[in-house]
Chains A and B, each alone.
Chain A
Amino acid sequence: MQENQSKRVNIAQGLKGWLGTDTNLLRLMVMTCTIFIVMCLATRGRFLSLPNFQAIGLLFPELAILSLAMMLAMFTGGIDLSVVAIANLSGLVAALIMTRLLPADTATVWVGWTLAGGVVAALVTGVICGAINGMLIARFHISAILATLGTMQLFTGLALVITGGQAITGFPDPFLFAGNGEWWGVPIPFLLFAILAGVLWVIVSRTPFGLQTQLTGSNSLAALFSGIRVPWILFRVYLTTGILASLTGLLMIARTNSAKADYGSSYLLQAILVAVLGGVSPTGGIGSVGGVVTAVIALQMLASGFNMLHFSNFSRDFFWGLFLLLIMVINHYANRRGGGRNG
């Protein structure tokens, strides 16, 4: 048995040397491919259809942007529990402007201006909410989990107070196109997401800000002593998550054609799950845009496949939980093997 184990260690180390350093991303990609193949077999090929991929491309960007926002917060060793609340609040602000301020004579120019006004107002809401989070965490030194827990309740509460719990529906067609339309068969939300993910990748891996964020997360004291303005970095991170959340809010209301104060509350836990699955360390410093995007695609394929197989939504939660725990346990064993005894 001892021998067997040492042989396994050798094989694992050999594989690792051969395939490069990012084994977590590799493992995740293997899992994603496995899911893909299993789903294709289980649905007897129905999974392999263009409409299915279009549906996946339409559905996953919302969760993906929230997960990327969560990744940024986790980089600093924090977490942002208020992302879904910010998304809903900004969505509602945009929805109010687009429905209440829309003039009776719907001349195209005016529709355009109200649309722009709604989008800008939503982004401003995101900036303000993010700034509040940033202030609480960076200036008043409240731990991120508690500050955003509080602001989550605050923002959701404000959204409820504004609408009285009612849904707001009926947005102009050009706006709905951004949430449902397609361009050469590619869903618009997917295109928007691809651009955003590209920008985020550049920010995270090619700018000083991205590096400083990760350094802050891996050791904030060392970062401080090496001249990084840690509070300023923290503030900007939560500002960014606020903006990303408000973009998600806009996408959500554009896709569903309705805005509601408590929409998508299950997104919060899913976003954390996706970030962790994508190899982001909740203790800070580690993670990549590619990993998170792969994880969210894996989960969306799992969800779509289960949907085709007529599994209930609840069994999806069950399998997501199982998936998360499995990945964590596998990572644990892999890291221990790779890191030797001190792992």
Chain B
Amino acid sequence: MAKFSYQHESILLLLLLILSATIGWFNPAFFGPGNLLSILKSCAIPGILALGTLLVLLSGNIDISFPAIAAASMYVTCKLALSAPWLDQMTLLVLLSATIGCLLGLANGVLVHCFNLPALIVTLGTGSLIRGGLLAFVGTRIVANLPSSMIAFSKATLFPIQDAGGQSTGLAISVVIYFVLALVTHLLLMRTMLGRGIYALGGAPESARRIGFPILGIQFFIYSFVGLLAGIAGILHASTVRNANPFDLAGLELTVIAAVVLGGTSITGGRGSVLGVMLGVALLVVLGNSLILLGLPSHWHQVASGLALILGTGLTAWRSRKGQSERGV
């Protein structure tokens, strides 16, 4: 059980390389350090959200409220920071946003576990509730004058380099946070009893319960973790685009789920890896980026990502059926 085969991940990596090579062939600007860094930066926010979605899907459930949670924690945090200047420190802001997200996520967990409701419906309800509440009672106005620490954060880069145009680019710190969170999630899933419990819950809930996994704790953890990551992603998003727009991030849930599933995660639970998810996110982002570089109108983006999702899931479904018939099930 401890041994995982990375077959799907290898296929994804191969696809990513072929796609990159093709785009690079048509437009060498693709391999410019500036473009590669900007692709990484575009991966960070959907990537962080995808890590949370991975955990929920692994446990055999689904969460579609996380964009609403991300928008709410981001917007509330920015509003609070503007009225309380002592909060104006990026670490504090991230912590605050993560805490708000975590609490909202916990509410999902309570509803799913204590009332035994299907997660899709619960998160549909809480998503509508949170977004509606945010826009109706907190505000609809875009906050353009963000706390100064967030502006400074968005400008800060590691390993700055000069690109051809003489502009300075570098590794955005949000990318570093993304990689750290991915590593933490990976270790959590592979090296802790909690992670084993999440896989077990998705594989066979009843067996997991009888073995003695604390289902309550695991469920609460999963949804809080999704909320926590959403809070972090929200504040990083606001910092990246340099304003706090409560309408932002809506509709991202379907893209993120698409990326996670493309990464080989089974929607019925129990199968998937952090590496696969990161590759799935990268594939979708590169696909979008490539269409721009190839000069196609941005409208084709949705067609391409829809096709990618259908092909990706079709491949997974076909392979799992082949595996089943080989085992004689």
Q: Bound complex: CA of A147 vs CA of B314, how far in Å?
A: 8
A213 on the interface (CB 8 Å rule)? no
B38 on the interface (CB 8 Å rule)? no
Contact present for A150 and B133 (CB under 8 Å)? no
Contact present for A328 and B304 (CB under 8 Å)? no
Contact present for B300 and A161 (CB under 8 Å)? yes
Task: Name the contact of A282 in the complex, choosing from B121, B257, B301, B304 (C-beta under 8 A).
Answer: B121
Cβ proximity bits A239-268 to B, threshold 8 Å, 1 near / 0 not: 000000000000000000000000001000
- Within A302-343, the residues touching B (CB, 8 Å) are 311-312, 314-322, 324-325, 328-329, 332
Q: Bound complex: CA of A165 vs CA of B251, how far in Å?
A: 17
Q: Bound complex: CA of A316 vs CA of B314, how far in Å?
A: 38
Question: With A315-B136, A328-B121, A329-B115 in contact, do A140 and B128 touch (Cβ < 8 Å)?
Answer: no
A153 on the interface (CB 8 Å rule)? yes
B126 on the interface (CB 8 Å rule)? yes
- Within B215-261, the residues touching A (CB, 8 Å) are 251, 254, 257-258, 261
A54 on the interface (CB 8 Å rule)? no
B321 on the interface (CB 8 Å rule)? yes
A269 on the interface (CB 8 Å rule)? yes
Contact present for A146 and B261 (CB under 8 Å)? yes
A156 on the interface (CB 8 Å rule)? yes
Q: Which chain A residue lies CB-closest to B119?
A: A282
A283 on the interface (CB 8 Å rule)? yes
B60 on the interface (CB 8 Å rule)? no
Question: With A157-B302, A265-B251 in contact, do A142 and B310 touch (Cβ < 8 Å)?
Answer: yes
Question: With A146-B267, A160-B299 in contact, do A325 and B306 touch (Cβ < 8 Å)?
Answer: no
Tier of interface size on chain A: 35 or more
Q: Bound complex: CA of A136 vs CA of B313, how far in Å?
A: 10
A87 on the interface (CB 8 Å rule)? no
Q: Bound complex: CA of A321 vs CA of B261, how far in Å?
A: 27
How far does the Cβ of B239 sit from chain A's closest Cβ, in whole Å? 25
B7 on the interface (CB 8 Å rule)? no
B residues in contact with A140, CB < 8 Å = 314, 317-318
Cβ proximity bits A137-148 to B, threshold 8 Å, 1 near / 0 not: 000111101110
B120 on the interface (CB 8 Å rule)? yes
Q: Which chain A residue lies CB-closest to B140?
A: A314
How far does the Cβ of B288 sit from chain A's closest Cβ, in whole Å? 12
B307 on the interface (CB 8 Å rule)? yes
Cβ proximity bits B293-304 to A, threshold 8 Å, 1 near / 0 not: 000010111111
Contact present for B302 and A324 (CB under 8 Å)? no
Q: Bound complex: CA of A85 vs CA of B102, how far in Å?
A: 33
Q: Bound complex: CA of A322 vs CA of B301, how far in Å?
A: 35
Q: Bound complex: CA of A17 vs CA of B261, how far in Å?
A: 46
Question: With A142-B317, A315-B132 in contact, do A157 and B310 touch (Cβ < 8 Å)?
Answer: no
Contact present for B303 and A142 (CB under 8 Å)? no
B residues in contact with A265, CB < 8 Å = 251
Q: Bound complex: CA of A329 vs CA of B110, how far in Å?
A: 11
Q: Which chain B residue lies CB-closest to A161?
A: B299
Told that A272-B121, A329-B115 touch, could you supply 5 new A-B pairs with CB distance under 8 A?
Answer: A151-B310, A321-B128, A328-B121, A332-B116, A332-B117
What are 27 A-B pairs at a CB distance below 8 A?
A140-B314, A143-B267, A143-B268, A143-B317, A146-B261, A146-B313, A151-B310, A153-B305, A154-B303, A157-B302, A157-B306, A160-B299, A269-B124, A269-B128, A282-B118, A283-B118, A314-B140, A315-B136, A317-B136, A318-B129, A318-B137, A319-B132, A321-B130, A322-B129, A324-B124, A324-B128, A325-B125
**4 closest cross-chain pairs (CB), A and B:** A317-B132, A321-B129, A318-B132, A157-B302
